[in-house]
Structures are given as structure tokens and as C-alpha cells.
Amino acid sequence: MDNMQNIQWFPGHMTKTRRAITRDLSLVDAVIEVLDARIPLSSRNPDIAALIGNTPSVILLNKCDMADPAATRRWVDALSGDRTAALAVNCKTGLGVDKLQPLLQRLLSDKLDGLRRKGMLNPSMRAMIVGIPNVGKSTFINRIAGRNKAKASDRPGVTRGNQWFTVSKGFEILDTPGVLWPKFDDPQVGERLAFTGAIKDNIMDIELLAVRLLDLLRVLRPTAFIERFRLSDEELMLSSYDLLSLIASRRGMLVRGGEADTERASAMLLDEFRSSKLGRITLELPS
């Protein structure tokens, strides 16, 4: 995955985003961090925990419709703590999203009670959204806020480009335009983001990517994958490249001379993984 290592960070942008997040944190009570439930580690910006510090946060394990439900339950447990709650959601259908507001109310109960004691009748909760590209932030905002957008310019002290959305009376969310990058310098992270389609695969060797995905699938052995390609236990013991050739032949993907068209099979395999045809698969588990 040498190509992955060629993707460079933009240190200037990162510093700017970091500064913007730190500044925006002073405007909110909580952070909503969106992750991809299939790869909760690889889809997490490596600096985010340090940046958020003690601010209460809700981690949304989004795209849970494509992840293994048992693995997602383990992640919800592993990521939940005193100041952090985790929630499995499918922002495309809205599944689980209605649990967010009560969860935030619970996380912020001390603060909200304090404000009520001071005489504020309906103290509002403000949360900001963070997440690397493609985890589903826009889908989440559309789902939760619909068209209830408030113009950023309506509010004093708000960074240009930031957008406030009113979810309901007493609950507002801030979408930040700063791009948070994943941990690109770790080739494994790059691969996993590429498997899910978060990184375009035209920047890397597609056969190598498919072979690396098969390395994982051979170990995870998702039923839908095994049944789809009618793979026996012996066949699952083949090297990943030989397995790719077998899958190509089984699908009738041959080049002239009758050899397996592994390039076409690679594109097909990645496509089927991304559309969940190989099953609901989580590629990373909590340690």
C-alpha cells in the first residue's frame, strides 16, 4: 500500500482546524463525533480525544446497518464512559437517532440542572459535530435537523462558515466546515478506509487492496461471503491471491487464454463489500 503513504497531510490546514475546534468548543456543551461502525478505529481522527478534552461527547457509530450487530454492541460498551456515550445509528434510515437527545440530556444533566436552579426555564443544549470525511455527517444533519437551519451570521461570535442547526426547542447543533483527517500515515488505516470507499480506490492498486480485504475476510469468515462464492474450508485456506483467482473463475471472469481476470474480480469484490452483499462486517474490534 505504498501509494497510501504518498498522501500527505496538510500541516497548515490541520493547525487551522485544530484551532477552530478549540475555539468552537467554547460555544458548545458537548461534542457529537461521527464514526463508521465498520471501522471505529480507522475512521477516528487521531487527535480528536485530546482536542475534546473533558467536554462531554456522544460517539455515533454510524452505518450500523453495514456493521456486525454483535461487534457494534461491543464497541458501544467499549466507547462508553463517564463523559462519553456511544450510540449505534443508521443515519440513512434514522434508526437510533432518536436516542441522541435523551442521551445528551443525561450526559449534561448536572449542567442543565444547575442552569434550571439559576432560574433558566428551558436551558438549551448545544453540540458540535466532528468526524472525518464520508462517515455520514451531512446525512446525520439532514436526518436530525431537516431544514431547520439557522444562518451562522445570525449569531455573534460564530466562526464564518460554521452552521447552526436547530434540532428541536432547546437543542442546537453546530456543523464545522474544518476537515478532520484520519490517520493517513498508518497504511492499515488507509487500507480500511479504502475498503469502505471513504478513499477513492483509483489512487491505489486495486488487486492489492482486494487481496488485503481477503486477508481479513478469510479470518472473519462472514457467512454471506462464504455462501456467495460457495467457498469450502479448504478453499478458505488458500493464499488470498489464489482465493481471488478462484472467485474470479467462479464468477466466470476470465481473460483471453482462460486465465482468471483478477483485476475485474477485485473491483467486484470491493463493490460487493461496500454494498454489504458480503454480509454485515466489522473490520475492527475493541481490544
Nearest to 238, CA basis, from 262, 268, 211: 211
Q: Is 135 in the site for ligand G4P (CB under 6 A)?
A: yes
For ligand G4P, which residue of 136, 182, 190, 279 counts as binding (CB under 6 A)?
Answer: 136
CB distance 236 to 220 below 8 Å: no
Q: Does 125 help bind ligand G4P (rule: CB under 6 A)? A: no
Judged by CB under 6 A, the residue of 32, 39, 91, 248 near ligand G4P is: 91
Nearest distance, CB of residue 273 and ligand G4P, angstroms: 13
The contact pattern for ligand G4P, residues 213-232, with x = CB under 6 A and - = no contact, is --------------------
Closer by beta carbon to ligand G4P, 139 or else 188:
139
Spell out where the chain has E strands: 30-36, 57-62, 84-88, 125-130, 149-150, 163-168, 171-175
> For ligand G4P, which residue of 65, 215, 263, 272 counts as binding (CB under 6 A)?
65
Nearer to ligand G4P, 66 or 231 (CB): 66
Distance, CA of 94 to CA of 234 (rounded, Å): 41
Stretch that binds ligand G4P, among 49-57, 87-95, 99-107, 251-259 (CB under 6 A): 87-95
Degrees, nearest 5: CA angle 114-166-26: 50
Treating both helix axes as pointing N-terminal to C-terminal, what angle do 262-274 and 187-196 enclose, rounded to 10 degrees?
80
Q: Which grid cell is 119? A: 432560574
Only one residue has cell 489464489, namely 242
Does 163 help bind ligand G4P (rule: CB under 6 A)?
no
Task: Retrieve residue 157's grid coordinates.
Answer: 461570535
Binding site for ligand G4P (CB under 6 A): 62-63, 65-66, 90-92, 131, 133-139
